[in-house]
Amino acid sequence: GENVEQHPSTLSVQEGDSAVIKCTYSDSASNYFPWYKQELGKRPQLIIDIRSNVGEKKDQRIAVTLNKTAKHFSLHITETQPEDSAVYFCAATARGVNAGGTSYGKLTFGQGTILTVHP
Amino acid sequence: GAVVSQHPSWVICKSGTSVKIECRSLDFQATTMFWYRQFPKQSLMLMATSNEGSKATYEQGVEKDKFLINHASLTLSTLTVTSAHPEDSSFYICSALAGLGYTDTQYFGPGTRLTVL
């Protein structure tokens, strides 16, 4: 099955700096890579995702890059703000539709990164 | 984005009792839902995949007779923790797939904090 490794486990930056979180995956069939932000006691929130047909995707201060050859993908947050402080999880899966017409492809999550942005 | 609700948000029960948690997709139909368990300061661990109208698929190590999953409609899946014990205390989160296949996206419910005394 899929195995996702995430680094670093903790990341501390000053407000305004950039933050980068990296993940590697093992299954070359994986084609969908979402990133989730989770605040304490709350649900994971999808912040950005990338599919295997593109190498980079950007949404304002957040960007994700994907290197399929090396099987790694990264989250980049620029101009960090204190409200960016949270736990970030990467995930990977091979998405598709089976013969019965239902989706397959369970997410495998990384271990999480605790991001702290100091004012 | 799509909205997934979960009820209750928290529950405290005595050891040996059963607890039912509901997961609903509010503005979309979800043929596939997932149930996760998350211990403090840890990642999400998938317990089972729930497909509407069929039996759930459990992950290795998850007791299907203890964690009963029912996905009776396209908007509702339930998880019943039977004969709960203190070690079952955890944060249970469901998610639902919006869309189909390659373009679908997974949205999470707000979670249920279960405390077994």
Q: What is the pLDDT at residue B41?
A: 87
Q: What is the pLDDT at residue B32?
A: 87
- List the single best residue of A5, A10, A43 to mutate versus B (max B Cβ within 10 A): A43
Q: Which of A89, A102, A112 lies at the smallest CB-CB distance from B31?
A: A102
| Chain B residues within 8 A of A89 when measuring between CB atoms | 43-44
Q: What is the pLDDT at residue A94?
A: 82
- List the single best residue of B28, B35, B43 to mutate versus A (max A Cβ within 10 A): B43
Name which of A96, A78, A99, A94 is nearest A20 in CA terms. A78
Q: Mind listing the pLDDT tens digit for each residue in A6-62? A: 999 999 999 999 999 999 999 998 999 999 999 998 999 999 999 988 899 999 999
Q: What is the pLDDT at residue A56?
A: 95
Q: Mind listing the pLDDT tens digit for each residue in B41-86? A: 899 999 999 888 888 999 999 999 999 999 888 899 999 999 999 9
Q: Mind listing the pLDDT tens digit for each residue in B83-105? A: 999 999 999 999 998 876 556 78
| Chain A residues within 8 A of B43 when measuring between CB atoms | 89, 109-112
Q: What is the pLDDT at residue A54?
A: 86
Q: Average per-residue pLDDT in chain A?
A: 92
Q: What is the pLDDT at residue A112?
A: 96
Q: How many Cβ pairs within 8 Å bridge chains A and B?
A: 62
Q: What is the pLDDT at residue B108?
A: 93
The reply to whether residue A46 touches residue B42, judged by beta carbons under 8 angstroms, is no
Backbone region of residue A71 per phi and psi (left: phi > 0; alpha: psi in -120 to 50; beta: other values): left
Chain A residue whose CA is closest to B47: A106
Asked if A43 reaches chain B (Cβ–Cβ under 8 Å), the answer is yes
Q: What is the pLDDT at residue A16?
A: 97
DSSP B25-76: ESSS--SEEEEEEE-TTS--EEEEEEETTS--EEPTT--TTTEEEEEEETTE
CA of A109 vs chain B CAs: smallest distance (Å): 7
Q: What is the pLDDT at residue A66?
A: 97
